[in-house]
Amino acid sequence: MESLARRSTTFMALVLAALAAATVSAPTTSSAPAYPTPLPDPFFAAPADINSTAPGDVLASRRQDTWLLPGHEVWQIKYRSTNSAGKPIPAITTVVKPVNAPSDIPVLSYQVIVNSLGLRCAPSTGLMTGEISDVLGLPAALARGWAVAIPDHLGPTSAYGAARLGGMITLDGVRAVKQLPELRLSDSPVALAGYSGGGLSTAWAAAMNSTYAPDVELVGVAQGGVPADIEEMALGLGQMDRHPGFGLGFAAALGLEREYPDRLPISDQLNQVGLALRDELKDECVAMIFAKGQAYGAAEVTNSTSLLQDETARGVMRENSLVNYSRVPTAPVFMWQGVGDQLTPYGAVAATADRYCKAGASLMFRGYPIAEHMTTALVGLPEALQYLEDRFAGLPAPTNC
């Protein structure tokens, strides 16, 4: 049986079977997207004056305590970011640093794997409850003595699947960390890292850096298991029968609808079974999304005409596919991928790497002869972290372009 960790990283690969089965015919009734229930804590709310702030501006901050991270102090920053429609949004990053650390220690913005629809599942809350533990990268990064900033890269509506959004939130989170005086990190060197869904936000942040946040200086980036071509993945899957991981794909379709309600009207295309499942999952974390979705397939929750035939919907997928984005990272990048990965196809990642090299980027690309998605994460992580440690130390970045 597949492990839950593997199922939870299906991200776009399962998505897009849910998208593929949705109809584009005119609905008889209109159904708005199912947004998550707002958290009762006023810290997460958007301030009234958010329109007068700039991306990365600190809106609020607070010290947090958790027994899950002994020997470290934890801060949360609410800051201004931007959504895919160009509108200001509040965003959160959680900063973990060693107690009594000196000023300006290295900062790693670490984008964890989050496959959820509920706001209580985001790192800002999940790190405090154990929902988010990220047994892969987080402990290893903290063990190196770095400060680690962990943004809620799905945004204030938990828009699971929206890649460009994650890139902007990540970059603005770095700006916010630099701004908060209590952290004493204003002159710290900064790097980015993430795998799978976290790798997607990381890769977009690296590629958008020069245009969206040219003031953010990055010494290095490590990105792995990146779903680089969402459209290709959707077309390859087509319509999906019942599958034990269907709930995760359905959740990703709903997350994309939250970010693009006018261009991906998923809820308009759901039948009564689909609407009921949507409402049941809209505030859930990955374990319950997985468990509750096992009994369904795409054909049971939608009509049969494919949304993939609609150019507007496919345009959204292209806009969130790294392989189609013309910009290249200006910071040195370590990128790794399983050659036989069945969840995030190797070809699109290799094509992206080739484009980066031809554009003169500093890239170290590793293709591991592995098919299982999370095994590749474990194999590549030590080299990825060493790569970043060397960038923090100021060593010249290697390249195999």
Domains in the chain, please, with CATH?
A: 1-199+237-324 (3.40.50)
Give dist(CA 190, CA 169) in Å, integer. Answer: 15
Give dist(CA 224, CA 334) in Å, integer. Answer: 8
pLDDT of residue 133: 64
Is the distance from CB of 225 to CB of 370 less than 8 angstroms?
no
**DSSP letter assigned to residue 217:** -
pLDDT of residue 111: 96
Angle between helices 11-20 and 230-237 (to 10 degrees): 60
Confidence (pTM): 0.91
- Determine phi and psi for 133, rounding to 5 degrees: -120, -25
Element (H, E) at 30: none
Q: What is the pLDDT along the chain (401 residues), one digit of tens a residue?
A: 334 334 333 434 444 544 544 443 333 345 789 999 999 999 999 999 999 999 999 999 999 987 778 899 999 999 999 999 999 999 999 999 999 999 999 999 999 998 899 999 999 998 877 777 666 788 899 999 999 999 999 999 999 989 999 999 999 999 999 999 999 999 999 999 999 989 999 999 999 999 999 999 999 999 999 999 877 766 654 455 666 667 877 888 899 999 999 998 888 888 999 999 999 999 999 889 988 888 887 778 886 555 556 777 788 888 999 999 999 999 999 999 999 987 788 999 999 999 999 999 999 999 999 998 889 999 999 999 999 999 999 999 999 99
Cα angle value 101/107/112 (rounded, 5°) = 120
Is the distance from CB of 357 to CB of 328 less than 8 angstroms?
no
Is the distance from CB of 43 to CB of 60 less than 8 angstroms?
yes
Nearest to 338 by CA among 4, 3, 6: 6
Is the distance from CB of 365 to CB of 329 less than 8 angstroms?
no
pLDDT of residue 351: 96
Q: Euclidean distance between the first and final Cα of the chain, in Å?
A: 39
Give dist(CA 252, CA 5) in Å, integer. Answer: 17
Nearest to 196 by CA among 4, 10, 394: 10
Radius of gyration for the chain, computed over Cα atoms and rounded to the nearest angstrom:
20
Give dist(CA 270, CA 238) in Å, integer. Answer: 17
- Determine phi and psi for 37, rounding to 5 degrees: -65, 130
Letter string b/e over residues 97-125, b meaning 16 or more CB atoms within 10 A of that residue's CB: beeebeeebbbbbbbbbbbbbbbbbbbbb
pLDDT of residue 250: 85
H-type helices in 23-63, by residue range?
A: none
Q: What is the CB neighbour count within 10 angstroms for residue 23? A: 18
Between β-strands 72-82 and 58-64, what pairing exists: parallel, antiparallel or unpaired?
Answer: antiparallel
Nearest to 110 by CA among 73, 136, 79, 148: 148
Look up residue 208 and give its amino acid: M
Q: What is the CB neighbour count within 10 angstroms for residue 346? A: 18
Look up residue 9 and give its amino acid: T
Q: What is the CB neighbour count within 10 angstroms for residue 304? A: 11
pLDDT of residue 54: 98
Is the distance from CB of 339 to CB of 346 less than 8 angstroms?
yes
pLDDT of residue 224: 96
Instruction: State how far the alpha carbon of 90 is from the alpha carbons of 81, 168, 220, 249, 330, in Å.
Output: 6, 12, 26, 26, 27
pLDDT of residue 91: 98
pLDDT of residue 10: 40
